[in-house]
Copies of this chain bind each other. A is one copy, B any other.
């Protein structure tokens, strides 16, 4: 978690896992590692609750960085597998960040 610059982009990926999640965790971890090596990658946060709803938000410098990540061959194969096998459904939203606020850990000590 950290502040992002206005004008950068967030890709919000919301998904629901089905019953067959064999190989999912390994592929998800591999995709985080691979995304982090892409030019223009700014960060990623992911959370999945106990009922299979997951939200992953990745942050990118610009649209070109998002397009390059989308075109990555291993990522494309993983998306296809997710669509066919792992996910009951998902949404992707590409959004341009207008403004951000951050409260560091120290904030709770301040008052």
Contacts and interface: CB of A to CB of B under 8 A. Distances in A.
B87 A92 contact: no
Contacts of A50: 50
Contact of A14 (B1, B93, B99): B1
Contact of A55 (B18, B47, B94): B47
- Copies of this chain present in the complex amount to 2
Contacts of A93: 4, 10, 97, 99-100
A interface bracket (residues with beta carbon within 8 Å of B) = 35 or more
Interface of A: 1-4, 9-10, 12, 14-16, 18, 45-50, 53-55, 57, 83-85, 87-105, 107-108, 111
5 contacts: A2-B91, A3-B91, A46-B53, A47-B49, A89-B107
10 tightest A-B CB contacts, nearest first: A95-B95, A55-B55, A47-B47, A47-B49, A92-B101, A47-B55, A95-B97, A1-B91, A89-B105, A93-B100
